[in-house]
Amino acid sequence: MALTTAPTNLTTTTLTQTHFQLNSISSKPIFTSPEQKKTSISASNNNNASATWSVDTWKSKKALQIPSYPNKEELDSVLNELTRFPPLVFAGEARKLEERLGDAALGKAFLLQGGDCAESFKEFTANNIRDTFRVLLQMGLVLTFGAQIPIIKISLTEFYFPINNRYMELAQRVDETLGFMAAAGLTLEHPIMTTTDFWTSHECLHLPYEQALTREDSTSGLYYDCSAHMLWVGERTRQLDGAHVEFLRGISNPIGIKVSDKMDPKELVKLCEILNPHNKPGRLTIINRMGAENMRVKLPHLIRAVRQARLIVTWVSDPMHGNTIKAPSGLKTRSFDAIRSELRAFFDVHEQEGSHPGGVHLEMTGQNVTECVGGARTVTLDDLSSRYHTHCDPRLNASQSLELAFAISERLRKRRIRSGRQVAPPSETLLK
């Protein structure tokens, strides 16, 4: 989901993390299935390196983290059926997202990417989707206000504030702004208040599945993975000569790269050059997952290497994966304070380096789960087992997600004021 406006200085873009789910449709170009037309293409026409690429050249590379299936015939049957299905997303939508991410790379937009680490079909219900969607919109509203966007697309009637006095001033300013908009005639019935763009994303992991949903766009001749608008390569699968990088270099979707403190700056530059040889803005998003202290030490070197190579990327913080711990009960959890500290480090480093903090990547849900400890409505270690529903990694609940959005919004606000050569007033924000 992406909140979109005609911004004066900053927009807020929202992506949902999805796993094999249907997405919104806004345009319908005709696609050709790679099974119907297996054509090798030159990457020079497809945002790629110079080597020839096709949808299955990844099979010649070493593929990690892909499950082994005992019944290959059944697998092939399912994959063949997928190639005949219509696309879940369309090329025009992916191109539009790439444009927005290009703005984020230049400090003119901010990415809010959130959702589950792993989704269960059992919990894939209308209520769960609605609740997560609502929280993302609420977060988008708060971030948009901090960035001083003139048009806000959600009503206060669905708003819910964390019980924390440090955010009440900001919440009241949002309320006053919405009241002013209503008085000016921008009511809830206005089209701009009832429509919003959104995009979807997931990790490019199961390459047979991704190949089966890859289509050639008849309007451009480029290949798009139509399972999602944006895909990212994970920390464990981003080898320069690996199958996942080989597949991703040939598709024209926006691409994310998960990066930990183990990433060598020179390797990152090479990876960027493979995936985006034409240095197209919005094509690459670097998603940092390091932990707060490692962030302060390692991220500056990555930023400098990318800048020295004159590469255009969007820098995004994933404050979740570097802060996973095991509770005495044996359950995995994450500390809200640690997550917030990593975000603070992310903003501090970019301020120090003169670069742009382009967004956040969060594992979260709209449900009232107890998986991450801390936050204004404190979840303790003893509370974890009461509503621990995740199928993979611990997620921020609705209250924690919104509280984090308030903290980020305050930081964005201070950054905006400084860029306008104004003095930021004292603030109790936790990201100051």
pLDDT at 428 over 70: no
Please classify residue 30 by burial: count the beta carbons closer than 10 Å to its beta carbon, then call 0-12 exposed, 13-18 middle and 19+ buried: exposed
**pLDDT tops 90 at residue 267:** yes
Q: What is the C-alpha separation between 279 and 307, in angstroms, rounded?
A: 12
d(CA 394, CA 367): 12
pLDDT top residue among 324 and 164? 324
**Any binding-site annotation on 249?**
no
Query: In sequence order, what are the residues at sequence separation of 6 or more whose Cβ sits closer than 8 angstroms to the Cβ of residue 27?
Result: 90, 92, 93
- pLDDT at residue 255 greater than cutoff 90: yes
Higher pLDDT, 323 or 430: 323
Question: Is the model more confident about 81 or about 172?
Answer: 81
258 marked as part of a ligand binding site: yes
Residue 430 CB coordination number (10 Å):
21
Q: Residue 16: pLDDT band by 50, 70, 90 thresholds?
A: low
Out of 215-219, 234-238, 330-334, 352-356, pick the least confident.
Answer: 330-334
What domains are there in the chain, each with its CATH number?
A: 11-419 (3.20.20.70)
pLDDT classification of 137: cutoffs 50, 70, 90: confident
Whether 66 has a pLDDT exceeding 80, the answer reads yes
Eight-state DSSP code of residue 262: T
Residue 151 pLDDT: 24
Extract the tokens encoding 395: 């997620």
Higher pLDDT pick, 237 / 428 = 237
CA distance 245 to 4: 31
* Backbone torsions φ then ψ of 314, nearest 5 degrees: -105, 120
Q: Which pLDDT score is estimated for 25?
A: 29
At residue 162, the 3 state secondary structure works out as coil
Q: What distance in Å separates the CA atoms of residue 57 and residue 249, rounded to the nearest whole number?
A: 11
Residues 6+ apart with CB under 8 A from 37: 216
pLDDT bin (cut points 50, 70, 90) of residue 191 is low
Residue 48, CA distances (Å) to 54, 249, 250, 279 in order: 11, 5, 6, 10
Average pLDDT over residues 30-44: 47
Residues ≥6 apart with Cβ < 8 Å to 222? 45, 46, 47, 91, 216, 252
Q: Round to the nearest angstrom and report the end-to-end CA distance of the chain.
A: 28
Q: What is the pLDDT of residue 391?
A: 78
Is residue 42 over pLDDT 50?
no
Average pLDDT, the chain: 80
Query: Is residue 429 predicted with pLDDT exceeding 50?
Result: no
Mean pLDDT of 300-310: 98
What mean pLDDT comes out for the span 353-377?
A: 90
Is 321 annotated as ligand-binding? yes
Q: Please give the pLDDT value at position 217.
A: 95
Question: Which whole number is the average pLDDT over 273-299?
Answer: 96
The yes-or-no verdict on residue 30 having pLDDT over 80 is no
As a whole number, mean pLDDT of residues 106-122 equals 81
What pLDDT is attached to residue 17?
58
Around Cβ 354, how many Cβ atoms within 10 Å?
A: 8
59 marked among binding-site residues? no
Looking at residue 63, what DSSP letter applies? Answer: -
Mean pLDDT is lowest, of 144-158, 307-321, 347-361, for 144-158
pTM, two decimal places: 0.83
Is 363 known as a binding-site position?
Answer: yes
Tokens of 293: 């202290």
Angle between helices 126-146 and 168-183 (to 10 degrees): 90
Any known ligand binding at 236?
Answer: yes
Residue 74 marked in a binding site: no
For the stretch 140-143, contacts whose Cβ atoms lie closer than 8 Å and that sit 24 or more positions apart, written own/partner, are 140/1, 140/3, 140/12, 140/14, 140/112, 141/3, 141/174, 142/170, 142/174, 142/402, 142/405, 142/406, 142/408, 142/409, 143/12, 143/110, 143/112, 143/405, 143/408, 143/409, 143/412
Residue 188 pLDDT class (50, 70, 90 cuts): low
Contact 73, 273 (CB under 8 A): no
| Separation CA 54–CA 43 (nearest Å) | 9
pLDDT given for residue 213 in this prediction:
97
What pLDDT, on the 0 to 100 scale, is given for residue 408?
93
Share of the chain above pLDDT 90, in %: 51
Residue 117 known to bind ligand: yes
Write out the two tokens for 363. Answer: 């594992």
Confidence of residue 307 (pLDDT cuts 50, 70, 90): very high
Summarize the confidence of residues 107-113 as an average pLDDT: 90
Could you tell me if 119 and 18 are in contact, meaning their C-beta atoms sit under 8 angstroms apart? yes
